[in-house]
Homo-oligomer: A and B are copies of this chain.
Amino acid sequence: METRELRYFVAVAEELHFGRAADRLGIAQPPLSRTIAQLEHRLGVALLARTSRRVSLTEAGAVLLAEARSILGAVAAAERRTRNVDRPSLVLAAKAGGSSELLAKLLDAYAAEPGAVAVDLLLCQAHAAQPLLDGRADVAILHEPFDSTAGLDVEPLHAESQFAIMSSSHPLAGAAGLRMADVIDLPELARWPEPDGTYLPGPGVEVHDLTQLFQMIALGRAVAVMPEVVRVGLLEGLVAVPVVDAPKVTTVIAWPPHSRSRAVADLVRVATGFS
Given the contacts A67-B258, A258-B66, A258-B150, A1 and B79 also touching, CB distance less than 8 Å? yes
13 contacts between A and B (CB under 8 A): A44-B83, A47-B82, A63-B81, A64-B78, A66-B258, A68-B78, A70-B257, A71-B74, A148-B257, A150-B257, A150-B258, A151-B152, A151-B153
Residues of B within 8 A of A148 (CB): 257
A43 contact from B1, B77, B83, B258, Cβ within 8 A: B83
CB proximity to B under 8 Å, residues A82-110:
82-83, 85-86
Q: Is A27 an interface residue (CB 8 A)?
A: no
A82 contact from B2, B64, B79, B153, Cβ within 8 A: B64
Residues of B within 8 A of A82 (CB): 43, 45, 47, 60, 63-64, 67
- Report the contact-size class of chain A (Cβ under 8 Å from the partner): 35 or more
Closest chain-B Cβ to A56's Cβ sits at a distance in Å of 15
Most buried by B among A43, A67, A257: A67
CB proximity to B under 8 Å, residues A27-84:
43-45, 47, 59-60, 62-64, 66-68, 70-71, 74-75, 77-79, 81-83
Contact A70 B3 (CB under 8 A): no
| Bound CA span A43–B63, Å | 30
| Bound CA span A9–B43, Å | 24
Contact B70 A258 (CB under 8 A): yes
Residues of B within 8 A of A153 (CB): 150-151
Instruction: Given contact pairs A63-B81, A63-B260, A151-B153, enumerate 17 new A-B contacts (beta carbons under 8 Å).
Output: A1-B3, A2-B3, A3-B3, A43-B83, A44-B83, A47-B82, A59-B85, A59-B86, A60-B86, A64-B81, A67-B77, A67-B258, A70-B257, A71-B74, A150-B258, A151-B152, A151-B257
Closest chain-B Cβ to A34's Cβ sits at a distance in Å of 18
Closest chain-B Cβ to A183's Cβ sits at a distance in Å of 25
Residues of B within 8 A of A86 (CB): 45, 59-60
Residues of B within 8 A of A150 (CB): 153, 257-258
Closest chain-B Cβ to A256's Cβ sits at a distance in Å of 8
